[in-house]
Structure 1
Amino acid sequence: MKSGQPTSETIGSRKAQWRILLRNTAYIVGALVVFLFALELMLSSLQHLGKTAAETIILATSNPFTALFIGLLITAIIQSSTATTSMTVALVASGSLTLESAIPIIMGANVGTTITSTIVSLGFLPKKKEFRRAVAAGTYHDFFNILTVFILFPLEYYFQFLSHLSESIATTLFKQPIGPSQGSFSLLGGGLSAITDSIVSTIGNGFILIVISLIILFSSILFFRKVLTKLLGFGSSETFQRFFFQSPLKSFAWGVLTTAAIRSSSVTTSLVVPLVAKKVVTLRSAVPFILGANIGTTISAFLAAMLNSNIAISIAIAHFLFNFIGVMIFFPIPALREIPIKLATGLGRITLKYRLAGLLYLLVMFFIVPFSLIYFNRDAVSITELTYQRIENNKTTYFTVITKTFENQAMRIVYPGEKNTEPSLIYSVYRKNNLLIINNELFELNKPGFCRDGEDRDGKFKSCIREILPRLILNPSLSLDSIFVFQKQYERQVNVSTWRYISSPSNLLVKKERRDTLGNVISTEELYKIVKK
Structure 2
Amino acid sequence: KAHKSFDLKAAKFINFDIMADTEPVEEIEAPEKDLEKDLSKNVNSRKDRPTHSTHFGDQDFFDETTDEIGDATWAEVCQTCCSHDAQEWAYILFGLSLGLFFLYFFLVGLELLGTAAKIVGGCTAGSLFGDDTNPFSGLMIGILATVMVQSSSTTTSIIVTLVGANVVEVKAAIYMVMGANIGTSVTNTIVAMGQMGDGNQLERAFAGATVHDMFNFLAVGILLPVEAATGFLYRITEAMTKNAEEGDKGEKWAGPLKKIVSPLVARIIVANKKVIQYVAAGEDGDGNTIDSCDSFYPVQCTGTVNKENCGRVGLIGCDSDTGRCPFFFSNGATQNEDQVSGGVVLFLSLVILTICLVGLVTVLQKLLLGMSTRVIYKATNLPGIVSIIIGCLVTLLVQSSSITTSTLTPLVGMGVIQLEAMLPMTLGANIGTTFTGLLAALVSGKVAALQVALAHLFFNITGILIFYPIPFMRNIPLNAARNLGKATRVFRLFPIVYILVCFIFIPLLFLGLSSLYTQDSKGYTVLGIFITIIMVSIVVYSLFWYKKKNGASKLYDCLIRRQNRTQTYKDLPDDIEYLKAEVERLKGHTGLEDEEDKEGDVEVVSS
TM-score if structure 1 supplies the norm length? 0.51
Rg larger in structure: 2
Deviation at 1:245, TM superposition (A): 5.3
2:480 to 328, 343, 364: 343
1:194-213 correspondence runs (5 A): none
1:99 partner letter: V
Offset at 1:155?
1.1
Q: Structure 2 vs 1, CA of residues 245 and 253 (structure 1 numbering), >3 Å: closer, same or farther?
A: farther
Matched AA of 1:185: K
The Cα offsets for residues 52-76 of structure 1, whole Å up to 9 and x where unpaired, read as x99x9546x2321111011001111
Task: Indicate yes or no: 2:145 matched with 1:81.
Answer: no
- Structure 1 counterpart of 2:136, from 65, 74, 78: 65
Pairing 1:166–2:237 present:
yes
- Corresponding position: 1:264 with 2:400: yes
Q: Deviations over 1:261-311 (max 9, x none)?
A: 111111110111110111111111222111111100001100110122111
CA–CA separation in structure 1 for the residues paired with 2:504 and 2:319: 22
Is 1:157 aligned with 2:236? no
* Structure 1 residue 284 corresponds to structure 2 residue 420: yes
Q: Distance in 1 between matches of 2:315 and 2:151?
A: 13
Instruction: Indicate the larger mover: 278-287 or 79-88.
Output: 278-287
Paired with 2:317 and 2:431, the residues of 1 have a C-alpha distance of: 25
In 2, the alpha carbon distance for the partners of 1:370 and 1:312 equals 25
- 1:98 counterpart (144, 159, 169): 169
1:142 corresponds to 2:142: no
Q: Is 1:117 aligned with 2:188?
A: yes
Structure-2 residue corresponding to 1:375: 512
- Identical amino acids, percent of aligned pairs: 35
Aligned position for 1:185: 249
Counterpart for residue 362 of structure 1: 499
1:294 aligns with 2:452: no
**Contact kept in structure 1, 2:391 and 2:429, CA below 8 Å:** yes
Within 5 Å, give how 1:515-526 maps onto structure 2: none
Counterpart for residue 490 of structure 1: none
Secondary structure (helix, strand or coil) at the match of 2:403 reads helix
The verdict on how the C-alpha distance between 1:116 and 1:201 changes in structure 2, with shifts beyond 3 A counting, is: closer
Q: In the alignment, residue 98 of structure 1 is paired with which amino acid?
A: E
Letter paired with 2:406: S
Inter-CA distance 141–187: structure 2 relative to 1 (3 Å threshold)? same
Which residue matches 1:331? 468
Aligned to 1:275: 411
Distance 2:519 2:504 in 1: 26
Contact 1:276/1:283 (8 A) holds in 2:
yes
Shift in CA distance, 200/119, structure 1 to aligned 2, threshold 3 Å: closer
Q: Would the alpha carbon gap of residues 288 and 127 (structure 1) be closer, same or farther in structure 2, given more than 3 Å must change?
A: same
CA contact (8 A) 1:121 1:131 kept: yes
Measure the CA separation in 1 of the matches of 2:218 and 2:318. 30
Change (3 A) 1:343 1:107: same
**TM-aligned CA distance change 1:215 to 1:325, over 3 Å:** farther
User: Counterpart in 1 of 2:202?
Assistant: 131
Closer/same/farther in 2, CA of residues 97 and 126 from structure 1, 3 Å limit? same
| Aligned ranges 1:438-477 → 2 under 5 Å | none
Amino acid at match of 1:101: A
With over 3 angstroms needed to count, the CA separation of the structure-2 counterparts of 1:149 and 1:279, relative to structure 1, is same
Q: Distance in 2 between matches of 1:217 and 1:78?
A: 18
**Superposed, which structure 2 residues align to 1:380-419 within 5 Å?**
380-381=517-518
More strand by share: 1
1:192-228 per-residue CA deviation (whole Å, 9 max, x = no partner) reads xxxx9xx9777956667999697669989xx9xx9xx
Give per-residue Cα distances to partners, 1:121-159, cap 9 Å, x unaligned. 112222111111111001000000000001110011111
Which runs of no fewer than 5 residues in structure 1 stay unpaired?
Answer: 1-52, 189-195, 227-233, 385-405, 407-533
Which residue type is aligned with residue 196 of structure 2?
L
SS at match of 1:126: coil
- How far apart are the structure 2 equivalents of 1:336 and 1:346? 16
Kept in 2: contact 1:83–1:217 (CA 8 A): no
Q: Compared with structure 1, are the counterparts of its residues 291 and 204 closer, same or farther at alpha carbon in structure 2 (3 Å cutoff)? A: same
Alignment CA distance shift 1:126-1:218 (3 Å)? farther
Q: Could you tell me how far 1:184 is from its partner in structure 2?
A: 5.0
In the TM superposition, what whole-angstrom CA distance separates every residue of 1:407-443 from its partner, at most 9, and x where no partner exists? Answer: xxxxxxxxxxxxxxxxxxxxxxxxxxxxxxxxxxxxx
**Counterpart Cα distance in 1 of 2:320 and 2:501:** 30
Q: Distance in 1 between matches of 2:314 and 2:236?
A: 31
Asked if the contact 2:396/2:433 (under 8 Å) is kept, the reply is yes
- What amino acid does structure 1 have at the position aligned with 2:389? A
Q: How far apart are the structure 2 equivalents of 1:257 and 1:169?
A: 24
Cross-structure match for 2:113: none
Which whole-Å CA distance do the structure 2 matches of 1:144 and 1:58 have between them? 27
Deviations 1:461-514 (A, max 9, x none): xxxxxxxxxxxxxxxxxxxxxxxxxxxxxxxxxxxxxxxxxxxxxxxxxxxxxx
Match of 1:426 in 2: none
Equivalents in 2 of 1:219, 1:146: separation in Å? Answer: 37
CA contact 2:380–2:417 (8 Å) conserved in 1 = no
Whole-Å separation in 2 of the counterparts to 1:217 and 1:254:
34
Q: 1:290 to 1:166 in 2, by over 3 A?
A: same
1:309 aligns with 2:472: no
What RMSD in Å do the two structures reach over aligned CA positions? 3.9
Q: Say which SS state the counterpart of residue 298 (structure 1) adopts.
A: helix
Greater relative contact order structure (CA < 8 Å, 6+ sep): 2
Q: CA deviation at 1:372?
A: 0.9
Instruction: State the alpha-carbon separation in 2 of the partners of residues 160 and 217 from structure 1.
Output: 42
How much does 1:115 deviate? 0.2
List per-residue Cα deviations over 1:362-386 (Å, max 9, x = no partner).
Answer: 11100000111112222322589xx
Q: CA 1:154–1:216 in 2, change beyond 3 Å: closer, same or farther?
A: farther
8 A Cα contact 2:133 2:171, kept in partner = no
Distance 1:219 1:136 in 2: 39
> In the TM superposition, what whole-angstrom CA distance separates every residue of 1:6-52 from its partner, at most 9, and x where no partner exists?
xxxxxxxxxxxxxxxxxxxxxxxxxxxxxxxxxxxxxxxxxxxxxxx
Structure 2 CA distance for partners of 1:71 and 1:203, relative to 1, 3 Å: closer
Q: Which amino acid aligns with 2:409?
A: V
Higher helix share: 2
Q: What is the CA distance between 1:165 and its match in structure 2?
A: 1.2
Deviation at 1:236, TM superposition (A): 6.2
Distance of aligned partners of 1:96 and 1:218 in 2 relative to their CA distance in 1, 3 Å threshold = farther
Pairs within 5 Å for 1:479-490: none
Q: 1:132–1:351: 8 Å Cα contact kept in structure 2?
A: yes
